[in-house]
Amino acid sequence: MLRTPEVRQRNLVLIASLLFMLIGTGSIYFIVVALKQISAEFIWPRAIPSIAYALQYAGAGVGGIFMGWLLDRRGMMVPAFIGASMVGLGAILTSLVQTQWELFFIYGVMLGFFGRSSLFAPLTANITRWFEHNRSLAVGIVGSGQGLAGLMWPQVFHYLIAAVGWRQTALMYGLFALGTMLPLAMILRQRPPNVGTIPKGRSNHVSGSSPARAPLMPRTVQIL
């Protein structure tokens, strides 16, 4: 069966969403893998990098609300470009960090509030706008990027840190994130088609059956 341009476009956005999630989630695992090396270089207690790690989660939690608001008003373009830029620049600046307050700012604000917040909630909410059928499957595919990131990035970071050090590894990841996530954001900027709408002239009700349930809306996904 031939695929229509709309189907190809939806599948392209689905793949781009998965890759965006996979690459961006790497920022979570870097500081976990590099914790010992960062603490040793600055003679910090390990609580310092651990606080930065926690701040990223806190920032992402609050920032996710902001990104959901942007998604409702501007589409996926703005959250995607902000997230891609902040993940890449945040990782690059991590390679230059000299004080704990710089580390806290980078992880709490750049990588957390503006970076990681652009991943799960906006991506899953946006993908529901693209699929009238198999919506749950599409959300599952996009969400699987987090699990795949946990499988891939710790191994990559372990290898690179042992080979070139934690600063060079952060720089390499930041450049890679910018070089890949920004082009993916160009794909995600596309406006979804109107799915789940009833063609003109058709009734909301089917004879002999109950009214159809309303599809799960993006705002509901963000709340969940």
pLDDT in tens, 127-173: 998 888 888 999 999 999 999 999 999 999 999 999 999 999 999 99
pLDDT digits (tens, 9 = 90+) for 8-66: 888 999 999 999 999 999 999 999 999 999 999 999 999 999 999 999 999 999 999 99
Domain ranges of the chain: 7-190+216-223
Question: What local confidence, expressed as pLDDT, does residue 58 receive?
Answer: 95
CB atoms < 10 A from the CB of 57, how many? Answer: 13
The Cα–Cα gap between 124 and 197 comes to 20
Q: At residue 220, does pLDDT exceed 70?
A: no
The Cα–Cα gap between 45 and 63 comes to 28
For 13-114, list the strands marked E by DSSP: none
**Domain 7-190+216-223 falls in which CATH fold?**
Growth Hormone; Chain: A; (1.20.1250)
pLDDT digits (tens, 9 = 90+) for 87-136: 999 999 999 999 999 999 999 999 999 999 999 999 999 999 888 888 89
The Cα–Cα gap between 160 and 155 comes to 9
Question: What local confidence, expressed as pLDDT, does residue 7 receive?
Answer: 82
| Residue 39 CB burial class (10 angstroms; 0-12, 13-18, ≥19) | middle
Question: What local confidence, expressed as pLDDT, does residue 222 receive?
Answer: 46
Taking Cα atoms as reference points, which of 60, 132, 62 lies closest to residue 90? 60
The Cα–Cα gap between 8 and 14 comes to 10
Q: Model-level pTM?
A: 0.82
Q: Return mean pLDDT, the chain.
A: 86
Question: What local confidence, expressed as pLDDT, does residue 224 receive?
Answer: 45
Task: Name the region of 196 (left: φ>0; alpha: ψ -120 to 50; beta: rest).
Answer: left
Residue 105 CA: distances (Å) to CA of 27, 62, 114, 187: 14, 15, 11, 30
Question: For residues 193 and 27, which has the higher predicted lDDT (pLDDT)?
Answer: 27
